[in-house]
Amino acid sequence: MRTGCYAVIFTSRLGAEAADYALWADRIEALARNQPGYLGHDSLRDQDGLGITVSYWNSEDAIARWRAHAEHATARSLGRERFYDWFRLDVCRVTRTYGFGER
Amino acid sequence: MRTGCYAVIFTSRLGAEAADYALWADRIEALARNQPGYLGHDSLRDQDGLGITVSYWNSEDAIARWRAHAEHATARSLGRERFYDWFRLDVCRVTRTYGFGER
């Protein structure tokens, strides 16, 4: 995204019984977009439930504040209890970035 | 993946005329798996051609060596010339990682 920014890589497997998942996912995405320090995200999920979401932030503080958001905390609990078979989260510092073409 | 490792986030849009793309993608994936310092990867692409591939490496040197691999360099040229409408590559240091459940 931008050298010196932070990326959060969320890799997950959605379980078969993920009722209400789409509602929660939409809600959390809308909240994240309005957080201070949010720079953007990309998200894909395949038909087997494997998903990768990468969100970009301007500081570690912004990530910490978003982590502390009450509704996000509720969603994370639901994630562990009901939505995901497993997930992994990597918090990263972007040390360099480059690209090709206009997105 | 592992705190202190490195992640390369490759976000791309595959063009409509990507003949031979699948052959090249399979070849490059097989080569990457055998590179020193390769730790794993996750990759998804949707029906509109948007893709996210995250590969994990044990050092920046390992990423540099893989970048210098001749066949990988050829593939990157083809990527710019024929396969991708655009791509973006973020090289990251993983500052912390955690997860839930057994993958």
The answer to whether residue B48 is domain-embedded is yes
The answer to whether residue A28 is domain-embedded is yes
Cβ <8 Å between B99 and A91: no
- The minimum CA-CA distance between A96 and chain B, rounded to whole Å, is 5
Quickly state the pLDDT bin for B34 (edges 50, 70, 90). Answer: very high
Q: Measured between beta carbons, which residues in chain A are less than 8 angstroms from residue B8?
A: none
User: What six digits make up the tokens of A30?
Assistant: 């809308």
* Residue showing tokens 């990157």: B76
For chain B, what is the domain count? Answer: 1
Q: Measured between beta carbons, which residues in chain A are less than 8 angstroms from residue B91?
A: 94-97
Q: Is B52 on the interface with A (CB under 8 A)?
A: yes
Q: Are strands A84-100 and B6-14 parallel, antiparallel or unpaired?
A: unpaired
The answer to whether residue B45 is domain-embedded is yes
User: What six digits make up the tokens of A49?
Assistant: 């439930």
Comparing CA positions, the residue from A29, A47, A10 lying closest to residue B42 is: A10
User: What six digits make up the tokens of A63?
Assistant: 């990530």
Q: Is A44 on the interface with B (CB under 8 A)?
A: yes
Cβ <8 Å between B54 and A11: yes
The pLDDT of residue B1 is 59
The answer to whether residue B47 is domain-embedded is yes
**Could you give the 3-state DSSP secondary structure of residue B28?**
helix
Q: Is B89 on the interface with A (CB under 8 A)?
A: yes
* B40-93 confidence digits (pLDDT tens): 999 999 999 999 999 999 999 999 999 999 999 999 999 999 999 999 999 999
The answer to whether residue A99 is domain-embedded is no
Looking at this predicted complex, what is its ipTM? Answer: 0.94
The pTM is what? 0.95
Cβ <8 Å between A94 and B90: yes
CATH number of the domain that residue A82 is part of: 3.30.70.100
Q: Is A61 on the interface with B (CB under 8 A)?
A: no
The answer to whether residue A21 is domain-embedded is yes
- The minimum CA-CA distance between B37 and chain A, rounded to whole Å, is 18
Q: Where are the alpha helices (DSSP H) in chain B?
A: 21-33, 60-68, 70-78
Are the beta carbons of B25 and B41 closer than 8 angstroms? no
Comparing CA positions, the residue from A41, A37, A80, A81 lying closest to residue A62 is: A37
Could you read off the pLDDT tens digit of each residue along chain A, which spans 103 residues?
A: 577 899 999 999 999 877 899 999 999 999 999 999 999 999 999 999 999 999 999 999 999 999 999 999 999 999 999 999 999 999 999 999 999 998 8
The answer to whether residue B100 is domain-embedded is no
Owning domain of residue A51:
6-93
